[in-house]
Structure 1
């Protein structure tokens, strides 16, 4: 029988070293595996928590008015854990690339369109708790925004007109006779042109490939090509035919549409959506295009509107340039965009006919001066989807001046100088004359909010914002405030009956004069003491993560 080796001999033996090394390595390997499992679990839990934060932010941004409840509901749908909503902030996100990404979200700013949520959870390690390690806190944050867009414009409500006034206006702006009939005008005023579809047709016609709508509008386009594209972008057959006829008569002058149309976020778009058009009436778009085509911005003509009691009307109209960065039509989010009318001066020398009491012809020269009216997009509402969309505009009518007076028509185009007005001789008899003078200034410095619902937006409804002073019956107001001065044999002798007769004639003619002023200013795209605005379309955005 072998005797066991003495213990002292074990020190020198080497036959068990591999087993010992394997045991130590296995322990280290198991420790690394435990650490790897816990680290991977922590990473996956952070990913899961970030996904919950993203979902909560998107839910809140979809309807910021109820953002907290929607975010909490999104968190509640997460798998059972210790996740909780620690912070919920409503604010405004500005996508302007000129702003640093970290500064584009402003907490509490109005109108709000974004939500930022912060979540917290605790993860219990799988193996590290054996060594006494407690649950690890983790956090996640997400910011989401919904950018709702609206297209809106400012101008004037187009109404029925008499005589050849539309043709006279557009022909002078075009620099050639257009032979526009009243039926043509009626068709153009009632036709809607999809501006994005028009841009697609222009892109194809002028041979531009793979360029954005913004690049198309920034290209110099010949008027005939533009009007032909307008014809292809309207569903009104009569207007399309009238536009194609006009295209053959227009001069080959070029326009850059981005000076009057600001596509905003749609600048980079390349495809139109017929279910979400951005539309304008054809007459206004044609008039605004002619104004920027490099021709005259002054109209001087004589017309007979066929209004009872009104004879020949001599008209001088001067339309100023739009202010820089102030287009006629704009697309943007609430609080971002402002549109303005152009400064305008108008002088009408109106002959009154069929004057009673044996008076000679009575003339009534009416002067109208309009500063810029403006509209700002106050809010876009898309709660409930596109079918319940709405938009609100803050509208400021133009400060206006109206007068019965004579003036120098050559000075109308100098908007830097105030017009010099003088009493107008309204009656000239062999032995007597009557002069008249009235001068009224209208307010319009306070913005007024006007709201459009989905039906009004889709129907192209135009709404009017008026000043609190004289908004309608301008000629009537002038005549009520006119000062009449009669001269007999060149002397200021008493001529009470003559003054009374002239006053009665003017009072009787006031409604007809109001009709003249209303038609002329409306065709020019302005209103006295009023601003007409329209929401041309709304695009409800989809919530997206922005931080």
Structure 2
């Protein structure tokens, strides 16, 4: 018995027998959990693909998800659950997906499988349930713009304005401006090229838009993207004159697409005149420009022009991609003061008299919003309203124009002033601040052709200056001691104003056209539409 107690042979077998449960547990951890992890990764990919497929058509989400899951290869059978709802990006992370909401635009897909175990079955666990989910959102995207565009521009006025904004010398012809207005650029692919030209490496478009980029680099890159040689040369000329930098995020909001780094071809096709003008305005060191047009306006002895450009309310972008119905696109506030002097003409009782006409124009922002997107067939409905404002025959202090927080003090216009007589007057057209939104529908052919539809103020405005002159209240005052008949003088001044007014209308329309605003009207156009673009969000 003592010998048996001292015998140690066979002890290893006892140790092995005692360690077997632990060895099986380690095997279960290494083998069974490895199989479970592989299956978890597999069905996550299946869930992602099913969610993307279902988000294309939320009305058939369950069938589309089930079809995608059934077509996925794998060793173990899968079950699927599908929930539709709406996605709210502005909400807290755990509240962004609202299940069962009306007009669903998002789908959450849950995929489950059972992975049989090998070693864990010994401990009473014959299989492990694996479940993964994915959420995808359908993006119905539309891009659009609001402004005022002209079929042709007065080259001299536009050149003077852009020269003042850039601080350089801009000398483009009317043909150049027309080429810029008709040349289109595909905005999103161009942004990728711009990143390379500016030597900015970013993963997302939003990061590029937030970077400070020289205006000359932007316009130079843009010139290489247009096919028309006239437009290309015009953009190169603007690039050489441009100074300063700009954050393109102040002009462009890509919405959901901003998180991407590629794609979006054909979604935003815009004309290069609009883009170049907004880049120049955004990069200008000064927001006020004084222009002396001299006698280059036909029939006018002298014309001086002051233009002040304000900010867009809430720094809203010039162009946006969105499906939100709130106002998203607004033109900049604008103030224009124009002093015009007609060549001296004989008036009754006065051998030579020079008639002057000061005009003050103040425009708020025109705005537009996306009202509806229709898919199959594609169509977009926009709602817009023109810029409210005021057009006045009155005197103003040009130094007060840039302060948009303070109303500009206006005084009666001195239309004629001599040693003997003074003729004063004032007239105003108020463009209603309570203008209601007007809707315009763009079908697929109108979108492809970039057709422009115009909304007009309820206040009738024909020619700006012409409408004012027809309403002006003229008052004459005798300054000297010699008796003079005043009625003929007043009629003579009114006749001279009637000659000036039609000449001034093209000047004002050229200025507002370059700045993208209009007096009593606003142009709407849709630059692109994309229906049913699915994007994974969880």
TM-score by length of 1: 0.74
Post-superposition CA distance 1:376-424 (Å, at most 9, x none): 122222x22xxx4222222122221110001111111111111111111
Aligned pair in 2 of structure 1 residues 264, 314: CA closer, same or farther (>3 Å)? same
Note if contact 2:50-2:66 (Cα within 8 Å) is conserved in structure 1.
Answer: no
The answer to whether 1:380 aligns with 2:373 is yes
Which residue of the other structure, out of 458, 464, 467, is the alignment partner of 2:454? 464
- The answer (yes or no) to whether the contact 1:298–1:318 under 8 Å persists in 2 is yes
Alignment of 1:456-535 (within 5 A): 456-490=446-480, 495-535=486-526
Task: Write the deviation string for residues 316-335 of structure 1: whole angstroms up to 9, x where unpaired.
Answer: 00000223340101111242
Distance, in Å, in 1 between the alignment partners of 2:197 and 2:83 is: 51
Query: Are 2:287 and 1:297 equivalent residues in the alignment?
Result: yes
Distance 1:216 1:57 in 2: 27
Residues 330 and 356 from structure 1, CA distance in 2 versus in 1: closer, same or farther, beyond 3 angstroms?
farther
User: Secondary structure in 2 aligned to 1:512?
Assistant: helix
CA–CA separation in structure 1 for the residues paired with 2:345 and 2:263: 57
SS in 2 for 1:541: strand
Q: Which residue of 1 aligns with 2:173?
A: 181
- 1:42-441 aligned within 5 A: 67=59, 92-96=86-90, 98-105=91-98, 113=105, 145-209=137-201, 211-251=203-243, 253-273=244-264, 275-303=265-293, 308-335=298-325, 338-353=328-343, 360-381=353-374, 383-384=375-376, 388-441=377-430
CA contact (8 A) 2:299 2:343 kept: yes
Aligned-pair CA distance for 1:222 = 1.6
Q: Deviations over 1:275-332 (max 9, x none)?
A: 5241222122122112222511111102269665445321000000223340101111
Task: Give deviations 1:241-298, integer Å, cap 9, x for gaps.
Answer: 22223323333x222111111111111222245x524122212212211222251111
Tell me the SS of whatever aligns to 1:324: helix
Partner of 1:9: none
Preserved contact between residue 144 and residue 543 of structure 1 (Cα < 8 Å): yes
Provide the aligned C-alpha RMSD in A: 3.8
Matched residue of 2:283: which SS? Answer: coil
1:163-195 superposed Cα distances (whole Å, 9 cap, x missing partner): 411111111111121223333222222211222
SS at match of 1:292: helix
Counterpart-to-counterpart distance in 1, 2:261 and 2:521: 36
**CA deviation vs aligned residue, 1:9-59 (integer Å, no higher than 9, x gap):** xxxxxxxxxxxxxxxxxxxxxxxxxxxxxxxxxxxxxxxxxx99x989967
CA distance in 2, matches of 1:502, 1:106: 72
Q: Which runs of 5+ in 2 are unaligned?
A: 1-45, 71-81, 111-132
Whole-angstrom distance in 2 between the partners of 1:185 and 1:88? 53
**Structure 1 residues 235 and 434 mapped into 2: Cα distance closer, same or farther (>3 Å)?**
same
Query: Given the two structures, how large is their TM-score scaled by the length of structure 2?
Result: 0.75
How far is the alpha carbon of 1:107 from its aligned partner?
A: 5.6
Structure 1 residues without counterparts, runs of 5 or longer = 1-50, 80-86, 119-140
